[in-house]
Amino acid sequence: MFALDEIDRKLLRELLTDSKRSYRELARSIGVSTATVINHVQRLESAGVITDYTVLLDGERLGYELTVITEITVSKGKLLEVQEEIAKIPSVCAVYDVTGLTDAMVIAKFRSRRNLSDFTKKLLAMPNVERTNTHVVLTTMKEDFRLLQNI
């Protein structure tokens, strides 16, 4: 586990809020020098704490009106292989190994029921996928994978 100091925490909170700001703007907002921000960002990147920079998109505005959570049961100890194949599917947002009655959970987004149907059939056609159980999300109360409040 990587130990964060207070400057790291402040910097990460600022980056999670708006990662397109300059080092100078970040330095001003957390009350340190620009050189300090650069050094901390480089250290966080080198340690693998910061893995990438991206934008947040509104999927519904882009036509992705269906979000599903699919439970998957896998046979013959081939869980990792199946999960690696599922992770390659463009509509898949997350793949998780889980405890409980199923082996994996997948979160995916689709533009239409037809796309969802094709996805489900593709999963069921994969070797070693025994069964799936798909839940269609009706209302999203919160969807934010940033760790903002936990830092």
pLDDT tens-digit series, residues 72-83: 999 988 999 999
The per-residue DSSP string of 81-127 comes to HHHHHHHTSTTEEEEEE--SSSSEEEEEEESSHHHHHHHHHHHHHST
pLDDT value, residue 148: 64
Q: Which residue has the higher pLDDT, 39 or 146?
A: 39
Lowest-pLDDT range of 58-62, 94-98, 106-110, 135-139: 58-62
Tens of pLDDT, residue by residue over 83-110, are 999 999 999 999 999 999 999 999 999 9
Lowest-pLDDT range of 42-46, 123-127, 147-151: 147-151
CA atoms of 53 and 15, how far apart (whole Å):
9
Read off the pTM: 0.83
Mean of per-residue pLDDT scores for the chain: 94
Give yes or no for residue 43 having a pLDDT over 90. Answer: yes
CA atoms of 133 and 104, how far apart (whole Å):
11
CA atoms of 49 and 36, how far apart (whole Å):
17
% of residues, the chain, pLDDT over 90? 85
Give yes or no for residue 125 having a pLDDT over 80. Answer: yes
Mean per-residue pLDDT, 26-36: 97
Q: Read off the pLDDT band of 149 (50, 70, 90).
A: low
**Is the CB of residue 69 less than 8 Å from the CB of residue 135?**
yes
- The domains found in the chain, sorted by start residue, are 6-46 (1.10.10.10), 66-136 (3.30.70.920)
CA atoms of 146 and 151, how far apart (whole Å):
10
pLDDT value, residue 54: 86
